[in-house]
A and B are shown apart, each in its own frame.
Chain A
Amino acid sequence: AQSVSQHNHHVILSEAASLELGCNYSYGGTVNLFWYVQYPGQHLQLLLKYFSGDPLVKGIKGFEAEFIKSKFSFNLRKPSVQWSDTAEYFCAVGGEDSSASKIIFGSGTRLSIRP
């Protein structure tokens, strides 16, 4: 069955710490991968996406993610977090056509940054 797993439900870090949020998926065929962020009281917005090419993808606000096909993973990283990164992060995977109906979202990881 197609699924997305975000094993860390809640991550607490201090400012300047490095961040890595895990995302593993089970999905047949060619995949498109996404990370979304939802800041407190704000809309869900796209952080970065991978469709093809360089498996290391850079997104907004200093975030990056690496697609490792052999591990079915698309982990999100940031070398030094800020208090303003406090938010909920969602990993999502879709098929090649990225029909909205075929995009599966993970259950989210809540990130809390201590000032």
Chain B
Amino acid sequence: KAGVTQTPRYLIKTRGQQVTLSCSPISGHRSVSWYQQTPGQGLQFLFEYFSETQRNKGNFPGRFSGRQFSNSRSEMNVSTLELGDSALYLCASSRIPGGHEQYFGPGTRLTVT
């Protein structure tokens, strides 16, 4: 059974640009959550999607947005990038909403210069 995949794995952008990250959940999983991981901060919750609906959003500015498609794949977008957005962005999938059995992807390493 294939795991959670994220593309791209690495990304370098400059300030002011925008970026789109993609996440494909495990087959049969309909819930996708996104996290931002930075050194010393641990993981911070960004979004949770289930059946194409955003169920929850973390405490991030409106520059961070996301969506989920009918095939459960999810994308997140960050507009007007700032240096502080440099981080590892993790996607996790689960069969149902909630954090009981989340399976994480390898992450997308975003560097903003």
Contacts and interface: CB of A to CB of B under 8 A. Distances in A.
The contact size tier of chain A is 20 to 34
Contacts, number: 67
B104 A45 contact: yes
Which of A32, A98, A102, A103 counts the most chain B CB atoms within 10 A? A103
Contacts of A35: none
A103 B40 CA distance: 17
A106 B56 contact: no
Interface string A23-50: 0000000001010100000111110010
Interface string A44-58: 111001010000000
A32 B104 contact: no
Which of B40, B43, B58, B101 counts the most chain A CB atoms within 10 A? B43
A27 to B, nearest CB: 13
Contacts of B35: 105
Contacts of B48: 99-101
Interface string B30-41: 010101000011
Interface of A: 4, 32, 34, 36, 42-46, 49, 51, 90, 92, 94, 97-103, 105-108
Interface of B: 3-4, 31, 33, 35, 40-45, 48, 55-58, 90, 92, 94, 97-107
